[in-house]
Amino acid sequence: MKVLKALPGKHWLAEYDETNTYDWKDAEQYFSWATTGKVNMAHEAIDRHAEGERANKDALIYFDGTTEQRFTYADMKRLTNKAANVLVDAGVKTGDRIFIFMPRSPELYFALLGALKVGAIVGPLFEAFMEQAVRDRLLDSEAKLLVTTKALLPRVPVGELESLEKVVLVDEDVEESDTLLDFRKAFEQASDVFEPVWLDREDGLILHYTSGSTGKPKGVLHVQNAMIQHLMTGRWVLDLQEDDIYWCTADPGWVTGTSYGIFAPFLNGATNIVVGGRFNPDFWYSVIEKYKVTVWYSAPTAFRMLMGAGADVANHHDLSSLRHVLSVGEPLNPEVIRWGKEAFDQRIHDTWWMTETGAMMICNYKSMDIKPGSMGKPIPGTQAAIIDDQGNELPPFRMGNLALKTPWPSMMRQIWNNPQKYESYFFKGWYVSGDSAYMDDEGYFWFQGRVDDVIMTAGERVGPFEVESRLVEHPAVAEAGVIGKPDPVRGEIIKAFIALRDGYEPTDELKQEIQAFVKEGLAAHAAPREIDFRDKLPKTRSGKIMRRVLKAWELNLETGDLSTMED
Ligand code: PRX
């Protein structure tokens, strides 16, 4: 099948025949490997446009409420070249893991794309992470260099990280040392000419740490080849056209912020808005108004918070530039879709995917009839199904495991340092997502919940084990079990059940102290919003806390089979 070109006034995929399977080979014509056999994400995303018709088009517009900075594709090419030269001078080599731990700013994007030009594997870290979360990730990946700020540096246990050779600080007036490097100074002096390191399609691109229900966060490795799917979903699903002003609200610390905050928009040569600062309904609407945002990709929690701020706030702004609005990360309530129609006359399009899938998998396209509450249909060239625990496909309306036929272009290629874990995701030719869902008789998929204990709070994925491990490090905590409790705004909040050590009293002060302890160790979003003290927690005979029983306690449900529970 030939790739359809967006026709003036028409959407990508408008003429897509749903019975057709897309041959991903067809997309190869858009990348340099079609001519040279080699590729580099930063070249395809930036340089290619800078060397062509889009040279003077705005690529990145950064705005934090007070300052605005604009960079064309030509600017981005020069500035990412400079960053690449800085990193090479600092000793970075192809395949090294380079972490970026800082709030959103243009420098974050220069450093990230510069690292990709060198052929490094980038590990982005959300700025809210605290010491233990930072340590776990840098240790596991054996990171060689970290780009960060003075303010965040105290959370980096540099002395304990053997592989970490250099820390690059992006602030003004950095006092340099053997390990500390002044980014701005080096950047000033660096050449703006750089030949990207040419890579194979299966070479590393990005390493996102994400949570499961057991163990520490896992490093999900994506490779250069993922760009095929970033490019095509940018067309098919985001429906990016030449004049679009695109805004993805996710932070690059999470997969949405890289795949759709960097790769998909730049691969498509779009104008990409990056907003710094904190969420605030009035500010967010003002961004749409100021920049005449046309395509907007955000998350249910944000939409619910905007909805909660009331129609008045929305009505103060001209939001008529919006032509396509999309959502990811949590179930999108039909109520929110109705509100979107009222507040800015757009139907919010849900998309489903995961860190592990690397790119969108099940989506509502612009040209398709939305069924509010459904995640949509698999994108062309992929196949999704509901399977039972034996790997058999289930018929429509039967609930089961949401699974994807392997492979697809942006599928994860490794769990860092853990091949056994990687294998465990795959079963009889399927990738098993950990979500439960059903498919209706028209091929639309409907999300039902997580199969495991992973918590989705305000769109952020938190593993209960990581929180429990931190909790039991507190001197007062003997045992802890953590669950997601349904919440009307955040989807779920984190709730901890705690049994105290002898000699500790279950007071409110202690609750607050424990909450602060988790915040300081992991991140604010990982701290339990609610804590219940209990004398004893339900455990299996082998000593595992039964979160299922905690959940049943919380929701007043039947506790189910308790045969494995200790007396
Ligand atoms: O449970 C699903 C939920 O988010 C999980 C993946 O989280 P993460 O790897 O952090 O990636 C989030 C953004 C790509 C999934 O297993 N999820 C994601 N999208 C949806 C969703 N749940 C319901 N509806 C969605 N559209």
Nearest CA owner, ligand 1 atom 12: 329
Residue 277 belongs to some domain of the structure: yes
The answer to whether residues 416 and 483 belong to one domain is no
Q: What's the pLDDT at 108?
A: 98
- State whether the beta carbon of 225 lies less than 6 angstroms from ligand 1: no
- Residues in contact with 35: Cβ distance below 8 Å, sequence separation at least 6, in sequence order: none
Looking at the structure, tell me whether residues 518 and 412 fall in a common domain: no
pLDDT tens across 315-344, in order? 999 999 999 999 999 999 888 999 999 999
ipTM over 0.95: yes
pLDDT in tens, 198-227: 999 999 999 999 987 777 899 999 999 999
503 and 365 both lie in a single domain: no
**pLDDT(8) > 90:** no
For the beta carbon of residue 413, count every other beta carbon within 10 angstroms: 18
Greatest CA separation for the chain: 73
**Per-residue model confidence (pLDDT) at position 20:** 53
Whether residue 512 has pLDDT greater than 80 = yes
- Residues 534 and 392 placed together within one structural domain of the fold: no
Mean pLDDT over each residue of the chain, to the nearest integer = 93
Are 402 and 469 within one domain? no
Nearest ligand 1 atom, CA 350: 26
State how far the Cα of 146 lies from the Cα of 169, in Å rounded to an integer. 9
Domain co-membership, 43 together with 189: yes
Is there a domain that residue 6 lies in? no
Q: In the prediction, which pLDDT does 4 show?
A: 42
Query: Quick one: tokens of 450?
Result: 């997580």
Indicate whether 470 and 388 sit together in one domain: no
Ligand 1 contacts CB of residue 57 (under 6 A): no
Lowest mean pLDDT: which of 18-22, 46-50, 541-545?
18-22
Side chain identity, residue 121: I
Last residue of a domain, one of 437, 469, 487: 437
Average pLDDT of the residues in 436-451: 93
pLDDT tens sequence across 522-534: 999 999 999 999 9
Total domain count, the chain: 2
Q: Is the same domain home to 243 and 192? A: yes
What's the CA-to-centroid distance between 521 and ligand 1, angstroms? 25
Return the closest-CA partner of residue 141 out of 214, 87, 209: 209
Same domain? 431 vs 477: no
> Comparing 495 with 1, which gets the higher pLDDT?
495
pLDDT at 449: 87
Q: Which CA distances in Å does 462 have to 133, 354, 480? A: 12, 13, 15
**In the predicted model, is pLDDT for residue 9 greater than 90?**
no
| Boundary (domain end) residue, out of 406, 437, 468 | 437
Q: In terms of domains, do 124 and 185 share one?
A: yes
CB atoms within 10 A of CB 347: 17
CA of 218 to the centre of ligand 1 (A): 16
**What is each CA distance from 546 to 219, 482, 549, 563, in whole angstroms?**
26, 10, 6, 12
Same domain, 153 and 211: yes
Distances (CA, A) of 111 to 100, 172, 263: 8, 16, 14
Q: Is the CB of 450 under 6 A from ligand 1?
A: yes
Domain that holds residue 535: 454-555
The Cα 408–Cα 19 span in angstroms is 18
The verdict on 215 and 304 lying in the same domain is yes
